[in-house]
């Protein structure tokens, strides 16, 4: 059986047995809920690091995060921003310090971001 034939067979099987397939999926999800949550949490925690202030030159955007990997994915997915030339500007000890640097760059230097460069916010 070729890959295409296998795909077609699987597609027809799922179409003919929707309730059966859904019941199996639900049972598997319930059985493995804690395990899946632990794996997801471990993956996310492995990506975290100390807070950084980063710059996206294409959009003149400055932001702050403690997980740059997922933050850049969100920029690409939700905001359609180009993230290829991302630069880390500052690495902070804690998030409070990083946010202070970010605010300074928005207010005093005019970069785009969460605060939009609006003075006095």
Q: Which residues pair with 88 in a beta bridge?
A: 54
Question: pLDDT value at position 119?
Answer: 47
In angstroms, the CA 104 to CA 15 distance is 57
HSE, side-chain direction, 13 A CA sphere, residue 100: 7
Supply the pTM of this predicted model: 0.61
DSSP state of 87: E
Query: Over the stretch 21-62, which tens digit does the pLDDT of each residue have?
Result: 999 999 999 999 999 999 888 887 888 889 999 999 988 899
């Amino acid at each position: 059986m070729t890959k295409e034939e296998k795909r077609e067979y699987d597609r027809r099987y799922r179409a003919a047995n929707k309730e059966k397939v859904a019941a199996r999926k639900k049972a598997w999800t319930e059985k493995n809920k804690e395990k899946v949550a632990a794996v997801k949490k471990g993956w996310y925690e492995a990506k975290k690091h100390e807070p950084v202030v980063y710059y996206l030159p294409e959009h003149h955007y400055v932001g702050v995060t403690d997980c740059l990997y997922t933050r850049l994915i969100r920029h690409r997915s939700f905001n359609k921003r180009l993230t290829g030339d991302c630069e880390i500007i500052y690495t902070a000890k804690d998030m409070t310090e990083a946010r202070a640097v970010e605010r300074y760059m928005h207010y005093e230097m005019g970069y785009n971001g969460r605060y939009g460069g609006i003075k006095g916010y």
